[in-house]
Amino acid sequence: MKLRCERDTLVDALTTAGRAVSGRGGQLPVLSGLHLVLSGDQLVVTGSDLELTIARTLVVNGERDGAVVVPSKLLIDVVRSLEPGAIELEVGELDLSIRGGRSAFTIRTIPTDEFPKLAHADGPDVTIEAASFVRALRQVVPAASSDDSRPILTGVLLTATETGLRLVATDSYRLAVADLPGASVLEAGQSVLVPSRALAEVRRMVGDAGEVQLRLGVSEAAFAIEGLVVTTRLIDGDFPKYEGLIPSEKANELSINRESVLDAVRRVRLLAQESTPVRLVMNTDGLEIVAITQDVGEAHETVDASYEGEELTVAFNPAFLLDGLDVAPGEEVTLHTIDSLKPAVLRTPGNENFLYLLMPVRVP
């Protein structure tokens, strides 16, 4: 294999594919490497940990077809260190030569026949409008759990609704729901559970693309975006029956400017240390946000708001509250509460496609 290409273009491709292998120990040493395959003027760079695979295709000046597996981190560091401009890669019997400017490196390679054959989603391609899909991912993915001991909760549920596609995630402390009306991705009654890690990578890589191609297999899902393919194994298991968690009762309603409450919570949170919650004191005069940490101090801030209901103080994990406020669409948000212990629901007036449920924290 021999090729020439621009350093920055190659660094971008290597870094993108390398995200599937970085930080993952892996059962096979070969999975610490990136798989490069040259055919004509197309170079495909693939990284995988068998659960997540990222493949990036780029156009290069190819001179001799071939394939090679190279240690991921070392290859990225070497190519990134070169001077900007054209670089040359050439595969020898046991190593890869890299030349750029006045620099020359030789890296020992990993036998290509050790690189596993990766699973591919073999279903039909379905097109999703990229901007709305990314917006839904931004709203939902942060609510998924990062605890691998609870694999079901590390996934995002994609389920068909009467009007389109719904995305749902929960870590048992909060629940996020985003609807994409008109997105006919799944068949009626069909649901799949996609690892949130994979969807976070899709969101990161969409960029200015107009469309995302989704392909579902029996146990895999693939997302294709302009020369980039993210393939992931689906999670096998039943997602919690989340519908029953959403209160139908709306005893109290707080209406407030989203940016105002975001800024206030961020300031007050500075005194919410050592897992201290922030308290929302709601009455007809508006909203007061309070944080009290023993032996550290306390913070109070009042915010203009409209409130209907009984006077109520409810406490939340500040990070979870900020996550919901940050992704809520629109300038105004409403917080529906029942009492200080039952789930609260954050919505945007006039937008039924977003819902963020948050469990309160018990305080003295």
Judged against a pLDDT cut of 60, whether residue 185 lies above it is answered with yes
pLDDT of residue 208: 79
Residue 138, classified by CB atoms within 10 Å of its CB into exposed (0-12), middle (13-18) or buried (19+), is: middle
Query: pLDDT (tens digit, 9 = 90+) per residue, 252-274?
Result: 999 999 999 999 999 999 999 88
pLDDT in tens, 292-350: 998 899 999 999 999 999 999 999 999 999 999 999 998 999 999 999 999 999 999 98
pLDDT at 119: 81
Q: What is the structure's pLDDT at 27? A: 67
Confidence of residue 26 (pLDDT cuts 50, 70, 90): low
Q: What average pLDDT does the segment 17-31 reach?
A: 77
The whole-number average pLDDT for the span 71-80 is: 96
Least confident of 116-130, 171-185, 212-226, 333-347: 116-130
Q: Mean pLDDT, to the nearest integer, of 2-14? A: 97
* pLDDT for residue 283: 94
pLDDT of residue 162: 85
DSSP lists the bridge partners of residue 228 as 56, 225
State the chain's mean pLDDT as an integer: 93
Q: At what angle do helices 196-205 and 130-140 cross, to 10 degrees?
A: 140
pLDDT of residue 295: 87
Stated pTM of the model? 0.91
Mean pLDDT calculated for residue range 161-166: 89
Q: Which of 93-97, 151-155, 244-248, 277-281 comes out lowest in average pLDDT?
A: 244-248
Binned at pLDDT 50, 70 and 90, residue 364 comes out as confident
According to the model, what pLDDT value does residue 204 have? 92
Over 60: is that where the pLDDT of 226 sits? yes
Top pLDDT among 123 and 205 is at 205
pLDDT for res 182: 86
Amino acid at 52: L
Domains of the chain, earliest start first = 2-114 (3.10.150.10), 125-244 (3.10.150.10), 247-358 (3.10.150.10)
Average pLDDT over residues 156-185: 92
Tell me what pLDDT residue 124 has: 82
Q: How far is CA 125 from CA 122, 209, 230, in A?
A: 9, 16, 14
> For the residues 188-198, what does the mean pLDDT come to?
91
Residue range 188-197: mean pLDDT, rounded: 91
pLDDT for the residue numbered 202? 95
